[in-house]
């Protein structure tokens, strides 16, 4: 990709997030959190500005953003409204996946780009209780029927619940117990057998409104199925790795953007805080300086890793260990983001614990990042096994 192409793409997406929009998002974020409601007004503005279409190729009417540019947009949005950035990522990442696959000559998800450009809102229905191997295994059943699949299961963390119209899911066909298959498809919200169960009253990221979705013999036609493949890592290919890229780096970008806000709040506040035991402000306290320096180094390290990974992906660099790089980047960036916000709360002197403090909301929001797929339990297992040449599908899992 040439510098000219990068500049042209940046100019195409420059107006999807204006300063005026971000100021309004910033003002509304605490209200959404306090009232535990969806970011309706933010979503309407983002839709009108073209943010939802930012990763759709320009020839299909979108902004043409690649993953590196999109990551920067997410960070900018999350600085002001973390939950809004995280929720909308669940739509944009599907369009990014479809666009990257199309550029690679795979048109299996072309229909997603067409439907999104026509107004469909996409969501991710991958979360399941009792499944710590998302995308690769599933507690949701897929039964082959005439013309498509009958899908039954219980999905959790379905962000964008109030507005999504097409849900991306995975389910498992066990008709041949010796060769189970994963069905990756998309279910229209209006499909009989789709039911929303309101459960979302959480620690943080409340404005995502990520309710549960019940699928009870929901019929999904073959033309809405992107891929049927072997279960486990044996079936992992470009489709799954591209989801990892757009989803995991999108998550990481949202949390790092929020962490930057906490850092900037801390830098602004420390020279204003004083103590009767000091002649200068708390900015002169050696432990404050220690924490601030750790925060800055953590941010710079995380940002550099995120930029490098997203840029390499956008540039088409063929790393043979992409799963390791993607899972590792997500883990390092999100954990660094939480460390930054955790230190910011320490340095607030207790003021950050009050509900009226924006830092209190940031702390709760960023803590949610460690629950996302690729968490510490799975990240260390996958990275180590792949580096050591061990089969992640081997049974017993640890032996």
Binned at pLDDT 50, 70 and 90, residue 3 comes out as low
What is the pLDDT confidence band of residue 1, given thresholds at 50, 70 and 90?
low
Report CA torsion sign: 183, 186, 192, 196: positive
Buried/exposed 82-93: b ≥16 CB within 10 Å, e otherwise = bbbbbbbbbbbb
If asked whether residues 67 and 30 sit together in one domain, one would say yes
Report how many domains make up the chain. 3
Confidence of residue 291 (pLDDT cuts 50, 70, 90): very high
Considering the domain architecture, whether residues 99 and 132 belong to the same structural domain is answered as no
Q: Looking at residue 389, what is its pLDDT?
A: 97
Mean pLDDT of the chain: 96
Q: Are residues 112 and 157 in the same domain?
A: no
* 374 and 275 belong to one structural domain: yes
Q: State the pLDDT at residue 119.
A: 98
Residue at which a domain ends, from 191, 214, 231: 231
With respect to residue 191, please indicate whether it lies within any of the assigned structural domains: yes
Per cent of the chain over pLDDT 90 is 96
d(CA 259, CA 368): 12
Residues 100 and 66 in one domain: yes
Do both 371 and 273 map to the same domain?
yes
In-domain check, residue 395: no
pLDDT tens per residue across span 215-247:
999 999 999 999 999 999 999 999 999 999 999
- pLDDT confidence of residue 9: 54
Residues in the chain: 399
How many CA atoms lie within 13 Å of 69's alpha carbon, on the beta-carbon side? 25
CATH number at residue 258: 1.20.140.10
Q: Which of 231, 251, 275 is the last residue of a domain?
A: 231
Above 60 in pLDDT, residue 58? Answer: yes
Q: Which domain, by its residues, includes 342?
A: 238-388
384 within domain boundaries: yes
Same domain, 222 and 273: no
Quick: pLDDT tens for 148-177. Answer: 999 999 999 999 999 999 999 999 999 999
In a domain, 396, yes or no: no
Which ranges constitute the DSSP H helices of 230-375? Answer: 238-243, 249-269, 286-314, 322-347, 358-367
Q: Region 253-277: what's the mean pLDDT?
A: 96
Across the range 57-82, mean pLDDT stands at 98
Is residue 78 in a domain? Answer: yes
pLDDT for res 76: 98
Same domain, 25 and 159: no
Query: Both tokens of residue 206?
Result: 């409340």
pLDDT at 399: 76
User: 113 in helix, strand or coil?
Assistant: helix
Alpha-carbon span 131 to 274, nearest angstrom: 49
Please check whether residues 113 and 173 belong to one and the same domain. no
Q: With bands split at pLDDT 50, 70 and 90, how would you rate the model's confidence at 296?
A: very high
393 assigned to some structural domain:
no
The answer to the question of residue 148 being in a domain is yes
CA-CA distance, 21 to 106, in Å (whole number)?
36
396 preceded by cis ω (within 30°)? Answer: yes
Residues 272, 270: Cα–Cα separation, whole Å: 5
How confident is the model over 181-219, as pLDDT tens digits?
Answer: 999 999 999 999 999 999 999 999 999 999 999 999 999
Given a contact cutoff of 8 angstroms between Cβ atoms, the answer to whether 275 and 372 are in contact is no
Q: Which of the listed residues 85, 120, 155 is the one where a domain comes to its end?
A: 120
Give the residue among 217, 228, 85 at the shortest CA–CA distance from 160: 85
Percent of residues, the chain, with pLDDT higher than 70 = 97
Does residue 7 have a pLDDT over 60? no
pLDDT per residue as tens digits for the range 302-321:
999 999 999 999 999 999 99
Tell whether 75 and 148 lie within a shared domain.
no
CATH number for the domain that contains residue 217? 2.40.110.10
Query: How many helices and strands (H and E) does the chain possess?
Result: 12, 8
Tell me the two tokens of residue 268.
């602004």
Q: Are 375 and 328 in contact (CB under 8 A)?
A: no
Q: How many angstroms separate the CA atoms of 242 and 72, rounded?
A: 18
User: Would you state the pLDDT for residue 141?
Assistant: 98
Residue 6 has pLDDT above 80, yes or no: no
- Predicted confidence at residue 13, as pLDDT, reads 78
* CATH number of the domain to which 12 belongs: 1.10.540.10
Specify if 399 maps to a domain: no
Select the more confidently predicted residue: 1 or 278: 278
User: Which tokens belong to 273?
Assistant: 């805080």
110 and 191 both lie in a single domain: no
What is the pLDDT averaged over residues 323-341? 98
Whether residues 68 and 94 share a domain: the answer is: yes
């Amino acid at each position: 990709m040439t510098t000219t192409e990068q500049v042209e793409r940046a100019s195409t997406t420059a107006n999807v997030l204006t300063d005026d929009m971000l100021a309004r998002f910033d003002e509304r974020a605490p209200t959404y959190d306090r009232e535990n409601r969806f970011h309706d007004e933010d979503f309407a503005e983002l839709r009108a500005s073209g943010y939802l279409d930012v990763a759709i190729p320009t020839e299909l009417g979108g902004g043409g953003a690649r993953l590196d540019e999109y990551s920067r947009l997410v960070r900018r949005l999350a600085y002001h409204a973390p939950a809004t950035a995280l929720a909308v990522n669940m739509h944009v990442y599907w369009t990014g996946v479809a666009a990257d696959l199309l550029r690679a000559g795979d048109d299996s998800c072309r229909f997603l780009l067409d439907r999104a450009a026509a107004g469909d809102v996409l969501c991710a229905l991958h979360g399941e209780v009792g499944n710590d191997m998302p995308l690769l295994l599933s507690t949701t059943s897929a039964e082959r029927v005439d013309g498509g699949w009958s899908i039954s299961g219980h999905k959790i963390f379905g962000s964008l619940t109030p507005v999504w119209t097409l849900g991306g899911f995975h389910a498992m066909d066990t008709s041949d117990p010796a060769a189970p298959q994963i069905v990756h498809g998309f279910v229209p919200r209006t499909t009989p057998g789709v039911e929303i169960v309101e459960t979302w009253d959480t620690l943080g990221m409340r404005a995502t409104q990520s309710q549960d979705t019940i699928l009870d013999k929901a019929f999904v036609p073959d033309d809405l199925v992107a891929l049927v493949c072997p279960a486990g890592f044996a079936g992992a290919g470009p489709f799954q790795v591209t989801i990892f890229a757009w989803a995991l780096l999108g998550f990481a970008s949202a949390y790092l953007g929020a962490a930057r806000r906490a850092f900037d709040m801390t830098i602004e506040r420390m020279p204003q805080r004083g103590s009767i035991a000091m002649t200068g402000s708390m900015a002169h306290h050696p432990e404050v300086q220690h924490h601030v320096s750790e925060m800055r180094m953590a941010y710079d390290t995380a940002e550099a890793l995120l930029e490098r990974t997203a840029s390499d992906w956008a540039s088409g660099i063929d790393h043979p260990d992409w799963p390791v790089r993607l899972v590792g980047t997500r883990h390092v960036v999100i954990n660094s983001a939480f460390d930054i916000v955790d230190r910011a709360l320490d340095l607030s002197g207790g003021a950050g614990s009050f509900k009226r403090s924006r830092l209190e909301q940031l702390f709760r929001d960023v803590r949610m990042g460690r629950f996302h797929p690729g968490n510490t339990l799975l990240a260390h297992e996958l990275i180590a096994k792949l580096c050591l040449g061990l089969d992640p599908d081997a049974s017993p899992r640890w032996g």
